Chains A and B, each alone.
Chain A
Amino acid sequence: MALTEEPQSLVEDSGDERPKWDNKFQYLLSCIGFAVGLGNIWRFPYLCQTYGGGAFLIPYLIALVFEGIPLFHIELAIGQRLRRGSIGVWTAISPYLGGVVSAGLGCFTVSFLVSLYYNTILMWVLWYFLNSFQNPLPWSSCPPDRNRTGFVDECQGSGVVSYFWYRQTLNISADIGDSGALQWRLLMCLAACWVVVYLCVIRGIESSGKVIYFTALFPYLVLTLFLIRGLTLPGAKEGLLYLFTPNLEILRNPRVWLDAATQIFFSLSLAFGGHIAFASYNPPRNDCEKDAVIIALVNSMTSLYASITVFSVVGFKATNDYEKCLDRNILSLINAFELPDQSVSRDDYPAVLADLNATQPARVARLLLRSCRLEDFLDKSASGTGLAFIVFTECLLHLPVAPAWAVLFFGMLFTLGLSSMFGNMEGVITPLLDLGVLPRSVPKELLTGLVCLACFACALCFTLQSGNYWLEIFDNYAASLNLIIFAFFEVFGVVYVYGMNRFCNDIEWMTGRRPNLYWRVAWKLVSPLLLLSVFGAYLVLLVQKPLSYKAWNPQHVGPSMKPFPDDPLHGQCACHLCLRMGGSECIQDWGPSRPGAPAP
C-alpha cells in the first residue's frame, strides 16, 4: 500500500525544476568528496597513533556502526524525501523546528562559518602549492642574516620548515590581541581560492557536478602514488609497525571513545546540511540506505588508506632524523677525541661510546650528547596544520625530486578541501535558494557570486598576522558543540516529532524496503544517547580547563600555551552557549571587541 500511494505531499514542486544529478555516480562522488576532506589525512592518523594504533579501530568502528551510518542515513533520507535544503526540511517537518528553534538556520550558519575557515586552510595550501614550483624548495634552507655569516636567529632556533610556516607564510604575531597588518600574499591567495570556489559552484550542482569527477578522484591517485613511494622508502616499515601495533590498554581511557565518536561525526560531515542538500537533488525513488552505507564505508576506508601513506612517510622521516641524531653525536665524539674521520660507523657508536664513557667520563659528559632513540622520533606526532605544513613538508625535502612530490601533495590537499567546500557551499546556497531570499528573476550566478563575495570579506580577518590564532579558535570551539546539538535535534526531530512510523513508510516508498531492526533501534535509542553523552563529555572537558591557544614566541624557540585574553570572554562564552539554540542572532559577542572580529 505504501508503495503505490503517493505519501502526503509535504513536497510542493513549486513549478520550476529542481536541478538534478547527471547520474548516480556524480551524486555518490559529490557526497564522498564532501565527506572525505582534510581531516581524513591529518586527523585520523594522529588519533590512530595517539590512541594505541590498531586498537583505536575498535571504538572507531563501533562509533561508525552505531552513530555515523544511522545519522547519515537519516540525513540522506530526509533530504531525498523532502527535496529541500536544511532550512526547508526542518520547516517541512515541523514549523517549530524550522523557524523558532532554528536547527535549520543553525546548520546554515555553521556551514557558513566552516566555509570561511576551511577556505582559509585552502589559502595556505595554495600558497605552498605555488611555492613548490621551484628547486630547491624555499623551505629547504634558512635565509642568511644581514652579515651573511650565519642564518637568521629565529630560523636557527626553530628549524627551517617551522620558520617558513610561521614567519614567511603567516608572519605571525606573538599574541592574538596583536592583529598586525594584512598579509598581501595571503590576501591574493585567499582571493584566488574564493574565485576558484565560485567557478566551481557558480551554477550549483550543474557546475560542481562536472568538477567533482576530478576533485574527488585526483586525491586517490596521489595517495596511491605516495603510498607506492612511501612503502619503498627506508624506515617506512618502522613507521607502519609503530602505527598499527595495538595497545589495548588504552581502551580504558574514556577520552578514546569520545574522540572516536567525534571523529566519525566530523569525518562524515554530519549536521552541516550539505548532505541534505545533495540528497534533495536526487530522484525521489532512490536507494538512500545503500548510498549511506557505501559512502560511510568509503570515507572510513579512505582514512585508513591515508593513514598508511602518512605513516610510511613519517616513519621514513623519523628514521632519517634518528640517523642524523646519531651522526651528530658521532661527529662530536670524533671531534672531541680526535679520532680519524669516518672511523666510527652508526653500528659501532654504542660500543665506542661505552668505551669512552668508561675511560674518560668527564670529557664525554661535557659533550652534552643527546640520546637518540627511534621511538622518540616516531612519537613526535602532529595533527592538523602541523602535520601538513611542518612535518610532512619536511618529509618532502628528503624525497628525490622533491618539488614534484610537493606539487602533488599540495595539489591533493587542495582538491580534497575543494570537494569538501562544494558541500559546505551547497549547505549555504541551497537553503538561501529555497527560502527565496532573492527574487526568482535574479540569476543563480549572481546569488552564488554574492555569497562567495560575502565569505571572502568575512575571511579577510584570517589574513591578518594573528589569523592563525583565530583559526585555531574556530577549529576548536566554533563548530563542534553546535554540530552535535544540531545532529541531536535531527535525530530527535525525525524520530519523535515527525514520527518513526511515518519516516519508515517514507523510506519504504523510496527504497522499496522497510528499515530493519538495526536502523530502528539505532535511531530511536543508540544514536541519541551517544550524541547526548558526547555532548556532555565535551562540555565537561571544555569547562575543566581554561580556554587557551598556542602562540608563537619569536624570542623563545617554538610555540607556548597562552590563556585567552581576559574574563569578558569567559562570561560571554557561557552566555553564548545558552543562546546558541536560538540560531544565528546571538553570535556577535565573541572575543575582544574590535571591528571585524569574526563571529564563531
Chain B
Amino acid sequence: MLWLLFLLVTASHAELCKPDAENAFKVRLSIKTALGDQSYTWDTNEEYLFRAMVAFSMRKVPNREATEIAHVLLCNITQRVSFWFVVTDPSKNHTLPAVEVQSAIRMNRNRINNAFLLNDQTLEFLKIPATLGPPTDSAVPVWIIIFGVVFCIVIVAITLLILSGIRQRRRKSKGLPEVEDAEDKCETPITVENGIPCDPLDTKEVHLNEAFVPEGERLTPL
C-alpha cells in the first residue's frame, strides 16, 4: 500500500516537474567559469540550498508564506549543471503560476546569486530577465568639467596675447612720434666729442655726415 502511495507521489512529481512543463523554469549554472580553481561541485546539498533559496523567495510573496522546501521540485539535472524546477502549492497537486515565481525570483535575485557566489550571467534563469543596474551618471558629466578647464585656459591665453600685442603696438607708436617731434623742433641733443659734433644721422638730409666734413682748421696741418 505504502509502496503504491510512494509510486503515486513520485509519478505526480514527475508530472509536475519535467522539461517545458507548465510553470517550470530552467536554471543553468556556470560554476567553473565564475570561480575557476575555487569552484565547488554540484551535489545534492547544493540542490537543497537552491530549493531553500527558492522557498525563501516565495515566502516573501504575500499569500505564499507557507511555502516549504519540500514544495520546490527539481528535475532533469545534467552535468552542465542545469535543471528544471517548479514550485507546488501546499497540496502538491498543482504548481504555482509562473508569474508569481518569476516576480519572486526577480526581487531576490541578488540574495540567490550571493548564496552560490555567482552573478546574473553565471546563474541564469532562462525566461526570467535580470534587472540591470541603473546607469551611474554623476550630476555633472565629466566631459563638461574638462571642457570648462581647457576653454578657460585657452581664453585666458588669447586675452594675454592680444593685450601684449596691443601694448607692443602702443609702445612702438609712442616711440615713433617722439623721434619725429624732436627732429621737427631740432631739439636733438648734440653730443660733442673731440670738438666734432656727433649728430645722429639726419634722415632728412641723408647726404651730410658731419663727422666727415673736412674742416681743415680742426686738424693740425702737416
* Chain A residues near B (Cβ < 8 Å): 127, 130-131, 133-134, 143-144, 148-151, 188-189, 192, 195-196, 198-199, 202-203, 207, 334-335, 338-342, 443, 445
Contact = CB atoms under 8 A, between A and B. Distances in A.
B161 A338 contact: no
Contact of A198 (B33, B80, B158): B158
6 contacts: A192-B150, A195-B151, A338-B79, A340-B80, A341-B80, A443-B169
Given A130-B143, A148-B132, A335 B161 contact: no
B62 interface: no
Contacts of A199: 154, 157-158, 161
A338 B78 contact: yes
Name the interface size band of chain B.
Answer: 20 to 34
A395 B197 CA distance: 79
Contacts of B175: none
B165 A144 contact: no
Given A130-B147, A335-B80, A443-B169, A149 B154 contact: no
Given A196-B154, A338-B78, A445 B146 contact: no
A44 to B, nearest CB: 30
Nearest to A185: B143
B interface secondary structure, majority: helix
B154 A338 contact: no
A584 to B, nearest CB: 29
B132 A341 contact: no
A43 to B, nearest CB: 28
B162 interface: yes
Interface of B: 28-33, 78-82, 129-135, 142-143, 146-147, 150-151, 154-155, 157-158, 161-162, 165-166, 169
Contact of A340 (B79, B130, B143): B79
A331 to B, nearest CB: 9
A149 B28 CA distance: 19
A198 B150 CA distance: 14
Given A130-B143, A339-B80, A445 B33 contact: no
B161 A149 contact: no
Given A151-B132, A203-B161, 13 more contacts: A133-B142, A144-B133, A192-B150, A199-B154, A199-B157, A339-B79, A340-B79, A340-B80, A340-B81, A341-B29, A341-B31, A341-B80, A443-B169
List of 10 A-B pairs having minimum Cβ-Cβ separation, nearest first: A130-B143, A338-B78, A342-B32, A144-B132, A338-B80, A149-B129, A341-B32, A340-B79, A134-B142, A148-B132
Contact of B129 (A130, A150, A198): A150
A144 B135 contact: yes
B56 to A, nearest CB: 23
A321 B79 CA distance: 29
A456 B134 CA distance: 38
